[in-house]
A and B are shown apart, each in its own frame.
Chain A
Amino acid sequence: QVQLQESGPGLVKPSQTLSLSCSVSGGSISSGDYYWSWIRQPPGKGLEWIGYIYYSGSTYYNPSLKSRVTISVDTSKNQFSLKLRSVTAVDTAVYFCARWRAGARENDGFDIWGQGTMVTVSS
């Protein structure tokens, strides 16, 4: 049973960089069947896809965040990470890592999610 677990600071100052990691257990991040994703949810609002990474290192980002986001993977640690630069209060949200199934569109879906971690941007 694959499980995902986010970790990182819960408080980040404005203009600084938000850094989170997602550890994958029960399966290998190097499986070619999945993309490893970050998704966020501001308090009381809907979900927003941030981006994802393939085990090879190929990355794809939400165009609205692309200039501030970097997602990386460490296959030796079986984890992937998110960096969001120049944060402001609007970046305050619960950040989830999730797994997206690669391949046929019939399988489209984020099938496994981490529990989420709340990040507050405040001085």
Chain B
Amino acid sequence: SSELTQDPAVSVALGQTVRITCQGDSLRTYYASWYQQKPGQAPVLVIYGKNNRPSGIPDRFSGSSSGNTASLTITGAQAEDEADYHCNSRDNDGIHNYVFGTGTKVTVL
């Protein structure tokens, strides 16, 4: 099965921009989706498809992809954006199999 690799942790100054990456072979074929998870809470979908935001997700969140790497960018990070972020895609083994990334802890300074 495929693996999705993320940096364990990144930090960003308040109001600055941070990019979180997710690498894996399956991303050459399938879109990544991104989830924000705060301590003790369920994940929340923030980006899906090419670069789509569910209703209620601020437009400072955006997604992009190139080759085997998907990225989530937070432009103008806010204190409430401090959280774990997980990427996800279908697995190369089959369209009904899914893999999550290792997760990135984002700290807003």
Contacts and interface: CB of A to CB of B under 8 A. Distances in A.
B88 interface: yes
B29 to A, nearest CB: 9
B49 A106 contact: yes
A113 B44 contact: yes
B88 A47 contact: yes
Consensus secondary structure, chain A interface: mixed
Contacts of A26: none
Interface in B39-76: 41-45, 48-50, 52, 54
A60 B101 contact: no
A115 B40 CA distance: 9
A110 B35 contact: yes
A96 interface: yes
Count class of interface residues, chain B: 20 to 34
Nearest to B99: A49
Question: Which of A52, A108, A116 counts the most B-chain CB atoms under 10 A from its CB?
Answer: A108
Nearest to A6: B42
Interface in B90-104: 90, 93, 96-103
A71 B10 CA distance: 37
A113 B42 contact: yes
B23 interface: no
B57 to A, nearest CB: 11
Nearest to A99: B45
A52 B96 CA distance: 9
Contact of A116 (B1, B42, B45, B48): B42
Given A49-B99, A63-B97, A105-B31, A111 B45 contact: yes
A114 B43 CA distance: 9
A107 B48 contact: yes
Given A46-B86, A47-B86, 8 more contacts: A39-B100, A47-B88, A63-B97, A96-B42, A107-B49, A108-B30, A109-B33, A109-B54
11 contacts: A47-B103, A49-B88, A60-B96, A62-B97, A63-B93, A96-B42, A108-B33, A109-B45, A109-B49, A109-B88, A111-B54
